Structure 1
C-alpha cells in the first residue's frame, strides 16, 4: 500500500503546478491533502478537482476560506469521519477527515500553525492538548491508524535547518518538541518516515515558499500505530518537482488495504 501526504497551499495552486499529473504516475492507494482552501461542494462536484480512478472526501472550514483537508482513495471506505469531536471545536475548522477501512483508519490532518490572529498559540496549545487525549484513547481500540498531514511542529532540533535561528518560532518551541516526543515515546505512535530514513537533512516545508530556498522544516508526517511499525517498507520526501512550499511524503507499507 502506498500513501502520499501533501500540504498543498491551496488546491488550485497545486493543480496549476502539475500535482494531479504527477499523482497519476504514483500508483498511490490513498492520497491525503491539506490546506485545500476550497469549499467542500466545489471539491466534491467540480470536475477540475476529480482525480480519475479515485473517490474523494473533503472537509472544509465553516466559511470555506482557509484550511480544509481531503482524502482520495482507490476504493470507497466503510465510513468517513470529519473532525475529532473536541469540546473546544477547534478541530472543526476543516482540520481532519478520516477514512475507515477494514481494521485500519487513515486520516488527513492540518494542525493549527499559530502564525496569525486566526491561529493563535493558545488555540494551538488547546488543539494539541485535545489531540493528545484523543490519540491516547484510540490506542485502546482494536484498530490501526495512519494519520497523515501537516502537524505544524518539529520533533528534533535537526528537523529544522539552522535550529538556533528558529528556536523561538512557533513549530520549534520546547513544548511542541516535547509533545512530539511524548507522542512517539509514551503514547504509542511511530514516525513512519524515520523507520526507513534517518537522514538529518530531510525537510518537507520551506517558509520562503520555494523548495530548497531558505531554512527547511520537517513538519509533514505519517504518524502510525506502533503495531504498523514493521510494515513500513519505503519512505521518501519527493523534491524533484515543486507543487508549493511543501513537499510530498511518500510511504510504502506491506499492507493490503483493499
Structure 2
C-alpha cells in the first residue's frame, strides 16, 4: 500500500511510473453482477478505481469481503428504498476521505452521489435519475442543475475532479443510434442535452471519451428488447468527465462493450 507521499508520484503522469485506470459501470444490480463473476472480471480488468451505479442493494447485502480479497477498499451509498438506485466506489488505494451524498436530502435518500478524495484529485460516482413521466423529468432536471451547482462550488476547493457515472443523457446525435426518431424521448430531449453542454462548459470539464474518439456507433446502454445490443441500437449514457486542469494527464478512454453483467457496459479512462 502506497503512503500519501508516494501517491502523489503514483498519480502524476509526468514520471510515467504507472497509468491510473478508472472504470465506471452501471451494474443494474450488484448482487446479480456477483452471480455473473463480477469479481473475476474485476480482477482481470484490474482498475485502480471503479465507480458503481445502480447497485440496488443495502451495504449489508454487498459482498464487501469478496472485493477486499482482490485488493479493493469499497464504499457504498445506498438508497433508503430497497432494491433501488445506489452508488459505490471501490479503490486499491485507500481514499483520504469519503463523502456520502451532496447534502440535499431528497437526492441523498436515493443514493445518487458519492465522492472519494485522494491526494491531488477526487473521484465522484453519480447516478442521474431517469425520467419515465413529466413529474420525474422535473425531478431529473432539478437534480441536474443542483448537481451542476454542487460541482461548481466543489471545484473552488477541489479543482481536479473525475466525475464518473450514468448520466441518463446522450449529449449529441452521434451518441444515440436514432437521433431523429428518439428526439422526443427522455435521455435525448433538447433540455437534457442543453444542460449537459452547460455542465461541461461552466464546470470546465472534458468528455474523456470524445476527447479521443469522434467516431459514431459507440454506445454504453442497450435495451434488453429487440436484440438491441446485438444490433448495436444503443445510447451513450455513461461518462468520465475530467477537469480541464487534468487534460495533460489523459492517456486513453474506451468503452468496454464486450463486458456483459448489465444492460450497460463499463467505460474506462486512463490518467
Structures share a fold, TM > 0.5? yes
Q: How far did residue 241 of structure 1 move?
A: 3.2
Deviation at 1:113, TM superposition (A): 0.5
1:222 Cα shift?
0.5
Q: Looking at CA atoms only, which structure, 1 or 2, has the larger radius of gyration?
A: 2
Compared CA separation, residues 64 and 185, structure 1 to 2 (3 A): same
> Cα offset for 1:228?
1.0
Q: Residue 252 of structure 2 aligns with which residue?
A: 234
Residue 235 of structure 2 corresponds to which residue in structure 1?
217
CA separation of 1:177 and 1:164: change in aligned 2, threshold 3 A: same
Distance in 2, Cα, partners of 1:252 & 1:36 = 24
Q: Does 1:85 align with 2:85?
A: no
Answer yes or no: is 1:20 the counterpart of 2:20. no
Q: Does 1:98 align with 2:115?
A: yes
Name the structure 2 match of 1:205. 221
Q: Per-residue deviation at 1:85?
A: 1.1
In the TM superposition, what is the alpha-carbon distance from 1:231 to its structure 2 partner?
A: 1.2
**Equivalent of 2:191, from 159, 171, 175?**
175
CA shift at 1:142, angstroms? 4.3
Equivalent pairs counted in the alignment come to 250
Cα deviation for residue 70 of structure 1 reads: 0.7
Structure 1 residue 207, shift from structure 2 partner: 2.1
Gaps of 5+ in 1: 254-258
Aligned to 1:43: 62
Between the aligned partners of 1:51 and 1:227, the Cα distance in structure 2 is: 35
User: Aligned residue for 1:72?
Assistant: 90
Question: Shift in Å at residue 250 of structure 1?
Answer: 1.1
Moved more, 27-36 or 204-213: 204-213
Structure 2: 5+ residue stretches without partners: 1-19
Q: 1:141 aligns with which of 157, 178, 192?
A: 157
Whether contact under 8 Å (1:58, 1:69) holds in the other structure is yes
Query: Aligned-pair RMSD on alpha carbons?
Result: 1.9
| TM-score, normalised by the number of residues in structure 1 | 0.90
- For 1:229 and 1:91, the matched residues in 2 are separated by 30
Contact 1:43-1:50 at 8 Å conserved across structures: no
The whole-number CA distance in structure 2 between the counterparts of 1:154 and 1:18 is 29
Give the TM-score taking structure 2 as reference length.
0.86
